[in-house]
Every structure is written in C-alpha cells, then in structure tokens.
C-alpha cells in the first residue's frame, strides 16, 4: 500500500475520520502525515495517551478528594477509574482536558477498539453527551444515552 499523498513511499499510518456525510480514509507515509499535521499521536492509542496523561502528577492531586468516597485525584490517576459517581463531578475540571485529548486522538488515528477505554471515562463521556443532547432538545438521543448509562448502573442521569 503506497502513501495516498505522494504515491511514492509505503504508507505506514492509517487514518480514518468519520464525517457526517462520509468517511475519509487515508494511508500515509510518515512524512506526508507530518505535513498534514497528523503525526503527533501517530503511534499512541487512546489508551496509551490516557495512561501517559494519568502518569502526569501534580502536588495538587493529593488534595483534590471526592467528598463521597474519599478517593483523591492522585489515586484516581493511579487506578484509572472512579471510586463512585460523585468522583466524576469532583474531578470534572481536572480531567476535562484529558478527555479532550483522548477524543482528538480517536478522531485522528481511528478507534481500534473501545474495550481498552476505562469505564469511568465512558460514563463521563456519556454524561457529557447527555447534557449536550438535552441542551439541544434532542430528547430521543438523550433517552438512548440514558439507556447506555443504565447499562453502567447509573440511574440518576
Ligand atoms: Zn507520502
Ligand atoms: Zn467518589
């Protein structure tokens, strides 16, 4: 498989982007991928990015503690999942940028499998989606998202 851009070098990277009306698939060599600005996350899966981000520690982490289950942000980063539903609210601001980066990597390198994604982050994303759906009065979507949250055992969404 040759690079779609230069048709010269063998493609080493596969990108898939799902747009509302079509799916764009690209096979690129390292060079062309970097020209398109796509190389930043080339070899990291969302899971790897998550782990990398979770390893970034700050002194503050120990002081941010869930009032319900007493899990600290530092501990959350260590175990990679929430202690309780309240943790999501407690750590909200601190993990929002992590979620954003994982979303971006999903878009650029395609999703191989969602099985590696932490359950807590799935729930967090669903809650965000639910909020957006309600904001835009897409009640049918909201109902579907609520069903998914129920699958995770969350009833109060
Ligand atoms: Zn190329
Ligand atoms: Zn908690």
Which ligand places an atom closest to the C-alpha of 73?
Answer: 2
Among the bound ligands, the one closest to the CA of 30: 1
Length of the chain: 157
Please give the span between the terminal C-alpha atoms of the chain, in angstroms, as a whole number.
Answer: 46
> What are the sequence ranges of the domains in the chain?
1-39, 44-151
Ligand nearest to the CA of 83: 2
**What is the pLDDT tens value at each position of the chain, 157 positions in all?**
999 999 999 998 887 777 788 888 889 888 888 887 776 545 567 677 677 767 776 777 888 899 999 999 888 888 878 899 898 888 887 777 666 766 666 555 544 444 444 677 788 888 899 999 999 999 999 999 999 888 877 776 5
User: What is the 84 CA–ligand 2 centroid distance (Å)?
Assistant: 4
Calculate how far, in angstroms, residue 155's C-alpha sits from the geometric centre of ligand 1: 49
Q: Rounded to two decimals, what is the model's pTM?
A: 0.33
- Per the listing, tokens 């493609």 go with 11
Q: How far apart are CA 92 and CA 76, in angstroms?
A: 12
């Amino acid at each position: 498989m040759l690079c779609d851009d230069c048709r010269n070098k063998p493609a080493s990277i596969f990108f898939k982007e799902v747009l509302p009306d079509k799916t764009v698939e690209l096979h690129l060599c390292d060079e062309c991928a970097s020209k398109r600005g796509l190389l930043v996350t080339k070899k990291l899966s969302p899971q790897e990015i998550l782990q990398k981000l979770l390893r970034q520690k700050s002194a503050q982490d120990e002081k941010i503690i869930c009032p319900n289950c007493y899990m600290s942000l530092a501990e959350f980063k260590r175990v990679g999942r929430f202690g309780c539903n309240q943790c999501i609210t407690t750590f909200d601001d601190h993990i929002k940028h992590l979620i954003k980066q994982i979303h971006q990597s999903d878009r650029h390198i395609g999703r191989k499998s969602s099985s590696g994604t932490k359950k807590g982050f799935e729930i967090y994303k669903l809650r965000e989606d639910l909020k957006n759906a309600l904001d835009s009065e897409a009640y049918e979507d909201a109902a579907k998202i609520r069903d998914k949250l129920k699958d995770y055992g969350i009833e109060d969404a």
